[in-house]
A and B are shown apart, each in its own frame.
Chain A
Amino acid sequence: MSEKTTVAAVEGLLVADPSAPRLLGSRCKACGTYYFPAEHTLCRTPTCSSTELESVELSTEGVLWSYTSANYKPPAPFVAKEPFEPFAIAAVTLEREQLTVLGQVVPGVGVDALKTGMAMELTLGTLHEDDEQRYLTWQWKPVGH
């Protein structure tokens, strides 16, 4: 068992609770448009321009819009595992929010296991770690995987 504490790799984008992973966005109180990453200054719908935006947790399930893979090690600031292991990347459309969010697919699920249109759900995974902490990011996985 690791004694390390777990933290979000970047503050404000996700709730670093592995038992209930959530993405943090915002929603315009006037027109209902969602934003991820959160927008709090001005609603970007040109006909709205409201400054009343509230923080919201985004849907944790969506539909696979498309997918690909990273077969070569991405450059810094990505912290790649050594030796590098290829991974899949998914674009998932959240129905309520009508927005598409990218993210790595969980280790062990390659492109062969994916199909556009399939149901996907949010989870958290370790991006990298140091002596004290594990840094979490969001990942996608097929529902029920």
Chain B
Amino acid sequence: MSQEVAVLGVGMHPWGKWGESFVKYGVRAAQDALRDAGLAWNDVDFVAGADTVRNGYPGYVAGATFAQALGWSGAEVVSCYGACASGAQAISVARSRILSGEAKVALVVGADAAPKGFFAPQGGRRPDDPDWLRFYLHGITNPTYFGLWARRRMDLYGATSSDFAKVKVKNARHGLHNPNARYRKEVTEDEVLGSKVVADPLHLLEICATSDGGAALVLTSLDFARKHTTKPVTIPAVSTVTPAFPNTVIEMPNLATDSGASSGPPETPFKASIAKRAYDRAGVGPEDVDVAEVYDLSTALELDWYEDIGLCAPGEAERLIRDGDTTIGGRVPVNPSGGLACFGEAVPAQAIAQVCELTWQLRGQAEGRQIEGAKLGVTANQGLFGHGSSVIVKR
């Protein structure tokens, strides 16, 4: 049996700060995805919602909220929370329902109206919660981890602030013509390096903002899709891996790593295991990738992903950005959408938005940012508390 499902429709509500309910963004994205698929809401028999976030935790049960807003239809529903990886979990459940034959048309929706500034935990004294502990005891925010990983690249591989800034310059240029991007403005390396330092060595323009936005997919079986289109984009694999013990690299929101005292470091570090599982499941490898959408929470983190999704060996990512390999027109463009640098983070929508972009790229519909002849793409993303997220998209 084929392990592929078809992406028959994609839709997004533009990212920004719109000051409205996330439900509206999700509904708009869902309607666009259904229109794109040539289907009606009543055709949908399964809804997978990626839960939105209120102060670090799922505040709304998204699947049913979207189903109600679109008009109760008796469709079955699931709601998923995996922090930044919520969308991949929703895609994964919808895909499984279709492969099992239990669903014919699945709608996957994620949307958020994000608070401004640092994400912070809920109120109250909760010393059992690692997310609360790190803020209270040490004032450790998400950018703290981005800064630690960035400095590590500098000291281990000789990365420079200029290398990091180049990632922002590239992504800003990529997103310039993307109608769904929030920030559509070119920036220079000097402007990046001239912005205030938030978490040394990273500057304000190197750390992604928090945004409002929504994204949706219509997933169906291959047989169903072929009745509606000649050559559908498909998803042959989704990875939702957790780390293998011991996870010896410090991860959000923890105050400490696992101990490698008895077992030594793991064979495959967590971040490198995320896309690997998706490649293995799809029977492809990094050498087959034409385009990637990765989670650039910071400029330096995008470089980590180059290595973790196998585009190059550890320590070689700086060469890729310097040589323009990951720029549109280069060997393997990364974040042609403009990435989080141009979008800002709308947590539960983000992993779904990555698949929207790859679908447009593989269909040849990414106006102003098209990668010619792209046939296979990979997404990579990671959610707080140990949620891997990677999707292979091909045509």
Which residues does A use to contact B, with CB under 8 Å?
9-11, 13, 28, 31-37, 44-48, 65-72, 74-80, 87-89, 91, 96-104, 111, 115-117, 127, 137-138
Residue of B nearest to A117 (CB): B155
Report chain A residues within 8 Å CB of B155: 66, 115-117
Given A66-B149, A68-B151, A111-B200, decide whether A31 and B262 contact each other with a Cβ distance below 8 A.
yes
The smallest C-beta distance from A36 to any residue of chain B, in angstroms, reads 5
Assess the A91–B261 pair: CB atoms within 8 A: no
Report Cα–Cα, A47/B244, bound state, in Å.
12
Assess the B255–A89 pair: CB atoms within 8 A: no
Cβ contact of A67, chosen from B133, B151, B196, cutoff 8 A:
B151
Cβ contact of A9, chosen from B137, B200, B262, B264, cutoff 8 A:
B137
Report chain B residues within 8 Å CB of A66: 148-149, 151-152, 155
Report Cα–Cα, A80/B136, bound state, in Å.
10
Cβ contact of B261, chosen from A10, A33, A47, A72, cutoff 8 A:
A33
The smallest C-beta distance from A96 to any residue of chain B, in angstroms, reads 7
Residue of A nearest to B200 (CB): A69
Report Cα–Cα, A28/B246, bound state, in Å.
14
Cβ contact of B259, chosen from A11, A75, A97, cutoff 8 A:
A97
The smallest C-beta distance from B257 to any residue of chain A, in angstroms, reads 4
Which residues does B use to contact A, with CB under 8 Å?
117-118, 120-121, 123, 125, 127, 130, 132-141, 143-144, 146-152, 155-156, 196-202, 245-246, 248, 250, 254-264
Q: List 17 A-B contacts (CB under 8 A).
A: A9-B137, A37-B130, A67-B200, A68-B143, A68-B151, A71-B198, A72-B118, A75-B135, A76-B135, A89-B147, A97-B259, A98-B264, A99-B259, A102-B134, A102-B250, A117-B155, A127-B137
Report chain B residues within 8 Å CB of A79: 136
Report chain B residues within 8 Å CB of A10: 127, 133, 136-137
Report Cα–Cα, A33/B257, bound state, in Å.
12
Report Cα–Cα, A94/B139, bound state, in Å.
22
Report chain A residues within 8 Å CB of B196: 71
Given A74-B118, A78-B139, decide whether A69 and B257 contact each other with a Cβ distance below 8 A.
no
Assess the A11–B147 pair: CB atoms within 8 A: no
Report Cα–Cα, A80/B139, bound state, in Å.
8
Cβ contact of B121, chosen from A46, A77, A89, A96, cutoff 8 A:
A77
Report Cα–Cα, A144/B258, bound state, in Å.
28
The residue in B199, B246, B248, B259 that gathers the most chain A C-beta atoms within 10 A of its C-beta is B259
